[in-house]
Structures are given as structure tokens and as C-alpha cells.
Amino acid sequence: MLVGRWLDSVAGMNGRADLRLGITDVAPVVSCGSFSARAVVGEHLPITATVFREGHDAVAANVVWTPPGGDGDVGPLRRMAKYGEEPDRWLTTVVPDREGSWTFRIEAWSDPLTTWRHAVEVKVEAGQGADELANDLEEGARLLDRVAAEADEEHRGRFTAAAEALRDTSLELTVRIAPALAAGLQRYLHDHPVRELVTSTESFEVWVDRREALYGSWYEFFPRSEGPVVAGQATHGTFTTAGDRLPAIADMGFDVVYLPPIHPIGTVNRKGPNSAQFPGGNPHDIGPDEVGSPWAIGSAEGGHDAVHPQLGTMEDFKAFVGRTRELGMEVALDLALQAAPDHPWVEKHPEWFTTKPDGTIAYAENPPKKYQDIYPINFDNDPEGLYAEVLRVVRVWMDAGVRIFRVDNPHTKPLNFWHWLIWEVKKTDPDVLFLAEAFTRPAMMHQLARIGFTQSYTYFTWRTQRQEIEEYGRELAENAHYMRPNFFVNTPDILHESLQFGGPPMFKIRAVLASMLSPTWGVYSGFELFEHVAVKPGSEEYLDSEKYQLRPRDWAGAEASGRSLAPYLRRLNEVRRAHPALQQLRTLRFHQVDNPNLLCFSKTDPGSQDAVLVVVNLSSRDTQIGTTALHLPELGLDWHERFSVTDELSGARYDWGQFNYVELDPYREPAHVFAVTFPRPVQFPPPVA
């Protein structure tokens, strides 16, 4: 499934005697071909390479694009075109139409017909006559003879006639040449060229996922908090009561319902409200509201393959999954490889944990945080047994209808384990997706993506200033061939200070940034109610964190009274669905604006020719004004052209060009999300072959 070998560098390959032309800097290639590049079904995937040779003869290149289990391209060549400012850079675009492992290779070749045509045109322009061009004309005739021998019946006669004209000395020079340069023949020659000195790279792999690997809107909530409030007291929700929340989530336009762990929760060292350890740790000492952390998985009631009995049964969970699908959504389930002290694994497989010198099992720590209710897994003592058990658990939930796993802290587990697990699953179920929740060092985040994770949590939460947002956005777009971001505005344990102190306008600002910058974004429930109080100053933990207690919310009452951001989230998701450009990452481009508190960016979709232009006020306190300086060629326009824009949030319409005045009041509307209407058909870079 995944390329499992290191290739020689392309530059090194060009040192071989059988490779006549130079081919370097092939993209998309991940780690010299050790891992597969990524795309999704229907995505326009640019393939680029630097192609060159000695001397001045014309060179050309094509891509051989091979589907899963199939042969390479059949029919007209998939030609590459000159691209960008570099003189030897070439590009074409491919569009995969199914999931699985595709491959591509670059073929570079000497193009004698283009060399001949250029030489003849230059010499004629210089005033040379038929006698001086005698050899050139015969060379052209011989090239056309070669084409005629391979051409179909429709074109064979025309090429033969063009060759005869080149040899006919009774004709005036321009008349002799004209048939060979006719537009119809040139179009045919583009697809059926004469290729000499053909030089090929190795094949490189592109793993193609379903569309949801790139694009989606996620909503996280705790089913246990969706129970009824009785006599002022919250009661534990079930999959049935949580199912009542699903229509509202679907109405807001979300595609994925992400559930924290739904397994039995340990009773030993169970945590109480606001993450304080409940005294004693004895089940009998735990009050009725101390439900514990769902990430403290496992008890006498079962482990990772079981359902918490207060939520219901496995059949209840399957019904919940079915209801989600009926509403046009799907379930993502947390995969947290750790265990509570009373998880069945602890007794049956103590070797799967780390034993300290005093004989106790080490619990999880992230100083200053201590998680006495969680034992980390040790993957070194019995990898064969542990790998097999985790794969079994994953397949249990796949059989229950789960096709997306949000993986908790994958950076604390071995890379080779994830590499093995992900591709074992994809051998049989290529539609299963894995999201890496890895807030860690950049090198580890990127490597998790390279080895197979479908998506990744990101540093978006902590990027609030224009420069750092632009730098991070460019980094993600440049690495879109293997790393796909998921921009969560908040999580159960990340309440950024911008939300704590920015007021309702900041909630809108962060929602616009996340949903417009990234093709996939996410919201943790409570965001739409502007929940913003931290457990203590300087902390990113919520007060009364839902991780440790039930947290029922009056959703309907808040929306009815205008205290909910749900209508705004609904509109953002409607705009995302209406515009294919917002479902892209590779085409993200930033534009200049003369106020550092204003951010301007665009996205385009090569397939539909859709374009969206976004301007955001990053200040939640003050109105910001400024003037844009748009890079119009990024929108497929010339510098002088003007075009129409319609604000998808307010309905206002404007006539725009390169320079445009902007004024945004965060208390009214902190952003423009413009649908662009072009004055003429455009071709976005990179062009579509």
C-alpha cells in the first residue's frame, strides 16, 4: 500500500548512462518516495518537474498516470506544459477518480518536431530562401513521414500531403511550409509527437482518499451531557438522548460528529470536577456527579471494545451511527491508547505497561498536570500482542459503522506502530480515515502525516497575529501533498486566551478564519454559546470542564434569545458547501493589505473556476480600515482588470480591482467573504491539462 523503499535521488539517477535528459525536483514526492503523496477523489493534483538537456534542441515531458491495479495512460499523451518563472519547470494536472494507490512517472524527451518548426520559422523570418532551407525542409518531411506511418486514417493522408508539399520545389517557400504548420496538424502532433531520447523517472505513489479526507466540518460533543435535567440536577445522557441533539448539529451544516471515548470509565483514582483527584479513589467515595474522564478508559465493565453501560449498548451505539448517517453526517470516534488502573488489560497484560522500580505502574504525566487515572501503554515489551489487540479493537468499531478515528496523542506512541496499523486497515478498508491529535513538535507532526495519518490537528489555535497566520497558512499549503490540517477553534482542554478575553466578536473571527482557511475545521460544543471562562488565570482549561463532569446546555433557549452563534456557524458551513474553492488547501494565497490587523486571502478551484476572496478583522475590539493590494494573477486576471464581488455574509456587492478600501467593525461583521464574479473566463494557476 505504501512505498516501502528509499529511491535514489532523481539527480543521482540522472548520472546513469541510459538517462539522456535531466529530470529533477519531481513533485509531489514525499521523502524521496519513501512515503506516498496524498490526494482525494476529484482533486486537481499538480505534478511538476524540472526537465532539461544539453544544447538548444527542444525538450518536452509527459506524465504516465496509473490507477490502482491498472496500466498506465492509454491514448493521447498527458503532456506537461512550461510553468512558472523558472525556464525548465514543467507542470500538468491529474484528477483521480477513485480511491487507492495511484502511481505516476515523468517521461522527458527530445522533441524534434518543435526543434524543426522553431528553426524553420527563425530562418524564414531572417530572410533565408528555399535553397538555404533545403535540408531543413527534407528533415521536416521525414519527420512527417514518421508521424504518418503511425497516424490514424483521418490524419494519415494530411501528414503525407504535408510532407509532399515540403518536398515540392515548384511551390513558393511559404506555401511549401504552410501545411506542416496548419493548426489541425499541430493539435494532433501535440497528442502524438515524435519522441526521441525518452528518459523516465521511477514511479512515485499517490494515495487517493475519499473526498472527506480533505473537506469537512466537525462538531465534537459528549453524549453523556445530553441527558435531561431533573429537579435542577443533570442526569447522565445516553445514545438515545444524544441522538436528539443530532438534528441541530446537522442543521448547523456539520459533516462529522466527533465523540470522545464512549467506553467504560475507570473507578480507581477517578478525577472529579475541575480535574481535582477525588479523595481516596474508592468507588464508594465518589459522588453521583463525579463521572470521571472518558479518557480514563476501562473498568470491570470492559475496555476499549465495550460501551459505557450508562450510555447504552453496542446496539444503541449502532443506532446512533445510523441516525447520524440519515442526517447526512458520520461519526468520528476517539481512539485513545491508554488505560485506567482497573482496565482489563492491566490484569491480563501487565507487560503492556511500564513498571517503576517500586513495582507500581507509571501513570501519565505532563507536568504540571498529573493523570493518576491513566496508565500509558508501553509498546516495547510485547509489540506483536499489542499490535494485534489494537487492530482488533479498531475493527470492532469499524464493524459498528465508524469510518473515522480521531487518534489521541499519537506522538506518544511509536511511529512504526502507526505506520503498520493505518496501512493494515487501508488494505481492506481504504475509506477509513485517521486524524492525528498531536499538538507537539513540528518534525513529529509532519512525520505522522507522512507515514499515513489522513489529517492533523494544528497550531492554528495559537496563531492569532497576521504574520504568523500567513506564515503558517503558507507552510500548510506548501505541504498539502501529504499533510492535511483540521482547524479546531477550541477543544475540551484548549480555551485560548483570545476567546477568554476577546468577547463574542472574537468567536466570529476565529470561526471565519478556521472555516475559510482550512478545508476541514472543527468546533467543540459550547463554542456557539460563547463559553470562555477558564479554571484559573493563565490556564487554557475550561472552568467546570466537561472532561470531568456532566455539562448540560440549553441549546434551544440560547438560540431563541439570540445568545447563540449557531446561525453564524450555519451560514459559514453553507458558504463552504456552496464554494468548491473553500474546499481546497493547495490554492490558498495571501494578499497584501496595509493594516496589520487585517488579513486578506483567496482560494480558487481549478475544476469549477470558483474563487473566494476573504478579508478578516483580527481585532475584536476596534474597527479596522485599510487598502488591499491584490495579486490579481493569482485570481487568473491581469493587473488592470476589475471584477464583481458579493459578500456571502451580508449580501453587499462591490466593484473591485487591485486596490480596494476595506472597513470592518467587529461588532457588526468582522469579515468579508466574497464570491468573485469574473469579467471573462479565467485559468487559475496551476493550469489544468
**Which part of the chain is CATH 3.20.20.80?**
218-232+256-339+382-569
Cβ atoms of 644 and 616 within 8 Å: the answer is no
Q: What would the DSSP string read from start to end of 366-419?
A: ETTEEETT-EEP--SS-HHHHHHHHHHHHHHHHHTT--EEEEE-GGGS-HHHHH
- Residues 6 or more apart from 491 whose CB is under 8 A from it? 220, 461, 524
> Does the structure show a pLDDT above 90 at 660?
yes
- Three-class secondary structure of residue 216 per DSSP: strand
**Which part of the chain is CATH 1.20.58.80?**
113-194
Cβ atoms of 617 and 611 within 8 Å: the answer is no
**Which part of the chain is CATH 2.60.40.10?**
10-111+199-209
Q: What is the pLDDT at residue 542?
A: 96
226, 408, 541, 669: which one is catalytic? 408
Tell me the CATH number for domain 218-232+256-339+382-569.
3.20.20.80
Is 447 annotated in some ligand binding site? Answer: no
- Residues 6 or more apart from 172 whose CB is under 8 A from it? none
Tell me the CATH number for domain 10-111+199-209.
2.60.40.10
pTM for the whole thing?
A: 0.93
**Lowest pLDDT segment from 225-239, 240-254, 320-334, 356-370:** 356-370
Helix orientation angle between 503-517 and 466-478, rounded to the nearest 10 degrees: 20
Residue whose C-alpha cell reads 463552504 in the numeric block: 576
437 is catalytic: yes
Alpha-carbon torsion angle 602, 450, 90, 22, nearest 10: 160
> Does the structure show a pLDDT above 70 at 554?
yes
Mean of pLDDT values over 664-672: 98
Instruction: Give the cell for residue 290.
Output: 463525579
Is 145 annotated in some ligand binding site? Answer: no
Is 486 annotated in some ligand binding site? Answer: no
Cα–Cα distance, 140 to 115 (Å, whole number): 10
Burial (CB count within 10 angstroms: exposed 0-12, middle 13-18, buried 19+), residue 329 = buried
8 is catalytic: no
Percentage of the chain with pLDDT > 70? Answer: 94
107, 255, 334, 437: which one is catalytic? 437
How sure is the predictor about 367, in pLDDT bands with cuts at 50, 70 and 90? confident
Is 356 annotated in some ligand binding site? Answer: no
What are 544's strand-pairing partners?
Answer: none
What are 603's strand-pairing partners?
Answer: 612
- Average of per-residue pLDDT values in the chain: 93
Cα–Cα distance, 225 to 672 (Å, whole number): 36
Instruction: Domain 113-194: state its class.
Output: mainly alpha
What are 63's strand-pairing partners?
Answer: 78, 106
Is 597 annotated in some ligand binding site? Answer: no
Instruction: Give the cell for residue 167.
Output: 518536398
Is 62 annotated in some ligand binding site? Answer: no
What are 643's strand-pairing partners?
Answer: 656
- Three-class secondary structure of residue 677 per DSSP: strand
